[in-house]
Amino acid sequence: MSADLEALARAGVEAALAAGAGEAEAWCEDTTSRQIRVYDGAVESLSDSGGRGIGIRAFLDGRVGYAYGTDLGPEGLRTIASTAASVAAVADPDEYAGLPEVCGATPVEGLESPAMAGFSTERKVELALAVERAARSRPGVTQVENAVYSDSEGAAAIANSGGFSASYATTRAWAYASAFAGDGEDLMTGLGVGLARDPAALDPEAIGVEAAERALALVGARQPPGRRCPVVLDTFVAASFAGFIGGMLSADSVQRGRSLFAGRQGEEVAGPSFVLVDEGCHPDGPASAPFDGEGSPTRRTSLIEDGRLAGFLYDTRTARKDARETTGNAGRGYRSAPSVGATNLLVQPGHASLAELFAQAGDGLYVTDVAGLHSGVNPVSGTFSVGASGRLIEGGELGAPVREITIAGDLVGMLRDIAAVGSEDRWVPVAGSVRAAPLLLREMAMSGS
Amino acid sequence: MVAPELVERVIARALARGGDLGELYAEDRHGFSVTLDDGRVEDPRAGAERGASVRVVRGEASYFGHVDGTDEASLMKVADSVAQAVRGDERRPAALGAVRVAQGHPVTERPQGVAAARKAELLRECDERARTAGAEVAQVSVGYMEERRLVEVFNSDGLAAADDRTRVRLSAQVVARRNGASGPRVETGTDTRGGHAGFELLSGDPGAVAESAARKALTLLDAVDAPSGRLPVVVGNGFGGVLLHEAVGHGLEADAVQKRASVYAGKLGQQLAAPSVTAYDDGRRTGEWGSDGIDDEGTPTRRTTVIEDGCLTSYLYDLVRARADGVESTGNGRRQSFRHLPVPRMTNTYFAPGEATPEELIAGVQRGLYAVSFGGGQVEPATGDFVFGVSEGYLIEGGRVTAPVRGATLVGNGLEALRAVDGIAGDLRIATGYCGKAGQTVPAGVGQPHVRLAELTVGGTG
């Protein structure tokens, strides 16, 4: 399948050059995916989907045009290629635009699992049902709104007029459940997730139990009085913040003056125990690939090292503007031109267990859910105010559940306030692809009643 | 797009192993977008996609597959693969009716017929307008997008329907910067104009969109920290309606209700708000952003009264959930594209206008917050708990609007917020939103006149 796609991408490039492009690049994808949603012990929906498309980037005298489509016959390809070349005329010239100087692929082990093919639909349905049963079997769980199994097998290929072409195939399987505990206006919800390269590597019991326990931990939650106190962010919440910070470390945001990290390289932007890395070639990373959306090899990029701002994420265009090398962070789907983004973000785990973080916090708040992160944070100034729920920490131990709280501050202030990073790290696939660990913050403002 | 004879064979094949409903949905989609950033026109992007999906509903279960392309081989293959998942006896579909073309929304000037250069010119005009709004305007980005979707829906009950949908949208984001003693102060303002309409929507003073975004950013430079605590809140018209959309509307979608995953489950007929409160979901409203001729299951769109004189009167249904409740679909079965299963979704959701003026609502507040617009929001439908970031807000002191505030959030619960509504003005306006649910994003109109809530938790930064 990959070889066909590569040939298609090369044909796309030829068509764009024939349509008048000076340089051209084509990206092709072919994906099949399945989603099984169960409810109340039975299948609620079963989807089986396939899709194939191409996106072509045409460069004409520094102007860049983009077109994509799903008609991959010779005539269809010609139409897409000539559209890309013709829409380029409306763009202003961009002195930094162009193909990457260096193309290549970083070997990544195990992107594609052979076990995927041998797993029947029936067994996948059974897996989703097992997730639901595990969540329901916990006393106090009143409902499991959704138990979902999903997987995808995909191939991607790139070709450009510099003579480069490459492709890869990847498989993914994941499952999640949303459990309810309590009733009426006291109802609380909890999410459990798991992610792997194939369904055999998923643990349905653990996913269901996680959903149940996250909901049960919040039953009877009330709005507490507001105050300033130490805060522990659980792994899910830490991952949400890390994902948001990763977005602000894109060189594109920085160069366009939309990042509070602009001009701060080398400065202390976080507590000394905080280390953040982007790694597009991590063997377990959900977003791993041998090359990025422009054909640059993926790699490991240090972003925050021992609390100091170490670097940004670059694609070819932003790298040229800063006279440096790309970090292989051009994100891509066939429907959109490459743009800078994080691949897999990793927060380096520390040494304290969760119980030790609570003990260090003394009296404070354990946040297990935040809402409105993307609307509640000003990406330029970094001030934020988001809704939260979780548990109080009383005398170093977990206390009463709380909800309808807002936590507020500014992002750099918050990062600098990181007193310790927990040891229990894991992949959290809810906010991009992040491997995170719990974080202890010295103090945050929480407002309640 | 798809010949009726082929449609009948595809649906018959899909029902080869049974099912209560077999459906073919086909779509031809063309889009174009271009942006301006830092004075440069960039990222012109054109797309063309054609594809179809097949769905079989049997009992409580839906079986679904989609494919790029609408040729016979692809359609039969996807019908086969869907049928394979069903366990039952073959069902014979009803004969297809003649294709009923939905009554569309007026499009005077087809965006596809307008030269790309003119669209780029529009962006430059917006850039210029934003920059002349004030010396502290530091960055301007403007986006233009157009889309045409030709949709056809056929099902085993004999339904054959088609809709021709054109949307355009212009959006502006402006950053204002001021250097002060304690470092630079940076604020952002946004505004949009969009509709189910043609390029004519942007013929009357499109620069006003950019100027309005610039004014918001400039105003925020003088903003003080937001207050915290329980306060009266007056919510602005237009995009202020996102509060209704998130905190009430999602809980009225019948999938959430039937799974008891909504605080509004079992509350039909109950008084949830003051008698002055009426609210609609209206997919027919001419030219609005969330309007269509039919929904994505072929049901004609309509106006549904969800709250009448404070009483909960209806949920929002697609075909599957309507059948489960023994009612008719309300025309809310929507999907992002042929790649997605339809689910109950809002179209344009808004509070009906009342008698008051915005000034009267504000005059009744001693100390409170005037939340003109939101940066977005999130709600947990099962509990009704919501959070909204206020993107443009002001203090209300002594019945008058005073200083702008920054960083305010509204935190609360949908039922509590409905009970708290104690005043509605007459200035209804509908704004353009994108609504995400079940991994799908669809255009949704959010709107309302000015509305006052007697008390709500405001999470501030001060």
Domain residue extents for chain B: 4-222, 225-459
Contact B263 A185 (CB under 8 A): yes
| Interface contact flag, B460 A408, Cβ < 8 Å | yes
- How far is Cα B69 from Cα B53, in angstroms, rounded to an integer? 10
Residue B462 pLDDT exceeds 60: no
Provide the pLDDT confidence category of residue B460 given band limits of 50, 70 and 90.
low
Contacts of A69 in chain B (CB under 8 A): 47-49
Rounded to the nearest 10 degrees, what angle do helices A121-136 and A204-216 cross at?
30
A376–B387 CB contact, under 8 Å? yes
Residue that wins the pLDDT comparison between A412 and B350: B350
Element (H, E) at B257: helix B254-258
Residue B138 burial (CB count, 10 A): 17
Calpha distance B412→B384 (Å, rounded): 8
Average pLDDT over residues B53-65: 93
- How many CB atoms are located within 10 Å of the residue B184 CB? 11
Closest CA to A174 of A135, A206, A136, A202: A202
For chain B, how far is it from start to end, CA to CA, in angstroms? Answer: 59
pLDDT (tens digit per residue) in B188-222: 899 999 999 999 999 989 999 999 999 999 999 99
Q: How many residues does chain A have?
A: 449
Among candidates A52, A66, A189 on the partner chain, residue whose Cβ is nearest the Cβ of B383: A189
- DSSP assignment of A128-160 equals HHHHHHHHHTSTTEEEEEEEEEEEEEEEEEEEE
Q: Please list every residue in chain A whose beta carbon sits closer than 8 Å to the beta carbon of residue B408.
A: 385
**Interface contact B374-A335, CB threshold 8 A:** no
Residue B112 touches chain A, beta carbons under 8 Å: no
Query: pLDDT band for position B387 (50/70/90)?
Result: confident
Number of H helices, E strands in chain A: 10, 20
Spatial separation of the C-alpha atoms in residues B300 and A385, rounded to whole Å = 41
- The residue out of A215, A250, A269 marking a domain boundary is A215
Q: Do B263 and A46 touch (CB under 8 A)?
A: no
Pairwise CB contact (< 8 Å): B389 & A372: yes
| Average pLDDT score over chain A | 94
Q: Which of A165, A188, A215 is the last residue of a domain?
A: A215
d(CA B245, CA B381): 11
Q: Which tens digit of pLDDT belongs to each residue from A319-334?
A: 999 999 999 999 999 9
Distance CA A408, CA A411 (A): 9
Which pLDDT score, from 0 to 100, does residue A375 have?
66
Flag whether residue B457 sits within 8 Å of chain A, measured between CB atoms: yes
Residues of chain B positioned with their CB less than 8 A from the CB of A50: 65-68, 78
Residues of A within 8 A of B51 (CB-CB) are 51, 70
B217-273 confidence digits (pLDDT tens): 999 999 998 888 899 999 999 989 998 998 899 999 999 999 888 999 999 999 999
Structure pTM? 0.90
Do A381 and A358 lie in one domain? The reply is: yes
Q: Where a domain ends, among A187, A215, A243?
A: A215
- Do A294 and A372 fall within a single domain? yes
Q: Which residue of A has its CA nearest to B377?
A: A372
Residues A262 and A285 in one domain: yes
- Binary contact (A226, B377; C-beta < 8 A): no
Letter for the amino acid at A42?
A
Pairwise CB contact (< 8 Å): B374 & A375? yes
Whether residues A143 and B259 touch (CB distance < 8 A) is answered with yes
Q: How far is A289 from chain B (nearest CA, A)?
A: 23
Q: For A265-290, what is each residue's pLDDT tens digit?
A: 999 999 999 999 999 999 999 999 99
Q: What is the full DSSP assignment across B438-451?
A: TTEEEEEEEEES-E
Q: Which amino acid is at A62?
A: G
Same domain assignment for residues A331 and A241: yes
Contact B424, B212 (CB under 8 A): no
Residue A330 near residue A338, CB atoms below 8 Å: yes
Residue of A nearest to B412 (CA): A404
Bridge partners (DSSP) listed for residue B311: B271, B308
Query: Which of B:297-326 have CB within 8 Å of A?
Result: none
pLDDT-derived band at B34 (thresholds 50, 70, 90) equals very high
Asked if B69 and B51 touch (Cβ cutoff 8 Å), the reply is: yes
Sign of the CA dihedral B456, B457, B460, B462?
positive
Pair (A314, A436) in one structural domain: yes
Q: What are phi and psi of B75, to 5 degrees?
A: -65, -45
Q: In this structure, what DSSP letter does residue B248 have? A: I
Q: Alpha-carbon distance A277 to A288, whole Å?
A: 14
Nearest CA of chain B to the CA of A403: how many Å?
Answer: 9
Tell me: do A180 and A234 sit in the same domain: no
Band of pLDDT at residue B461, cut at 50, 70 and 90: low
Q: What is the pLDDT of residue A152?
A: 94
How far off is chain A from B449, nearest CA to CA, in Å?
Answer: 22
User: Looking at beta carbons, which residues of chain A come within 8 Å of B415?
Assistant: 185
Interface A-B, measured as beta-carbon pairs within 8 A, has a size of 231
The residue segments making up the domain with residue A83 are 2-215
Question: For B269-323, how does the pLDDT look when each residue is reduced to its tens digit (9 = 90+)?
Answer: 999 999 999 999 999 999 999 999 999 999 999 999 999 999 999 999 999 999 9
Tell me how far apart the alpha carbons of residues A172 and A287 are, in angstroms, rounded to a whole number. 10
CA distance A120 to A137: 26
Same domain, A289 and A431: yes
Q: Return d(Cα B394, Cα B403) in angstroms, integer.
A: 6
Mean pLDDT calculated for residue range A369-386: 76
Q: What is the pLDDT of residues B332-357, one digit of tens each?
A: 999 999 999 999 999 999 999 999 99
The least confident of A24-38, A229-243, B312-326, B382-396 is: B382-396
Q: Looking at the partner chain, which of B116, B120, B409 has a beta carbon nearest the beta carbon of A376?
A: B409
Q: Please state the domain count of chain A.
A: 2
Amino acid identity at A68? Y
Question: Quick check: helix, strand or coil at residue A401?
Answer: strand
Tell me what the mean pLDDT of segment B154-177 comes to.
Answer: 96
What is the residue whose two structure tokens read 């009948």? B8
- Residue A51's SS3 state is strand
A196-216 pLDDT, tens per residue? 999 999 999 999 999 999 999
Residue that has been written with the tokens 């040891």 in this structure: A423
Q: B4-222 has which fold?
A: PmbA/TldD fold (3.30.2290)
Contact yes or no for B382 and A64 at CB 8 A: no
Both A54 and A138 in a single domain? yes
CB-based contact B41 A87, cutoff 8 Å = no
In chain B, which among 382-401 make CB contacts under 8 A with chain A? 382-389, 391
Q: What pLDDT digit, counting tens, does each position of A245-254 carry? A: 998 999 999 9
B387/A258 CB distance under 8 A: no
Of A47, A188, A386, Cβ closest to residue B65: A47
Q: Say which of B68, B261, B409 has its CB closest to residue A145.
A: B261
| Token code pair at residue A226 | 């507001």
Distance of CA A422 to the CA centre of its chain: 21
In contact, B213 and B430? CB cutoff 8 Å: no
Cβ–Cβ < 8 Å for B126, B210: yes
Exposed, middle or buried: residue B302 (CB in 10 Å: 0-12, 13-18, 19+)? middle
Residue window 14-33, chain B: list those with CB within 8 Å of chain A. Answer: 32
Residue B187, pLDDT score = 86
Residue B73 forms contact with A (CB below 8 Å): no
Q: What is the crossing angle of helices B207-220 and B116-131, to 10°?
A: 30
Residue B436 has pLDDT above 80, yes or no: yes
Could you tell me the pLDDT band of residue B389, with boundaries at 50, 70 and 90?
A: confident
Identify the H or E element spanning B215: helix B207-220
Q: Indicate the pLDDT class of residue A374, thresholds 50, 70 and 90.
A: low
Q: In chain B, what residues touch A53 (CB-CB under 8 Å)?
A: 49, 68
Query: How far, in Å, CA of B411 to CA of A406, rounded?
Result: 7
Same domain? For A232 and A155 the reply is no
User: What is the complex's ipTM, to 2 decimals?
Assistant: 0.88
**What part of B 120-159 touches A (C-beta under 8 Å)?**
120, 138-139
Report the candidate in B390, B175, B407, B37 with the shortest Cα–Cα distance to residue A258: B175
A193 shares its domain with A321: no
Q: Return d(Cα A205, Cα A396) in angstroms, integer.
A: 30
Give the nearest partner residue to B38 out of A121, A256, A445, using CB atoms: A256
For residue A144, the domain's CATH number is 3.30.2290.10
DSSP letters, B56-100, are EEETTEEEEEEEES--HHHHHHHHHHHHHH--S---PPPPP---E
> CA–CA separation, B78 vs B23, rounded Å?
12
Percent of chain A with pLDDT over 70: 98
Residues 6+ apart with CB under 8 A from B3: none
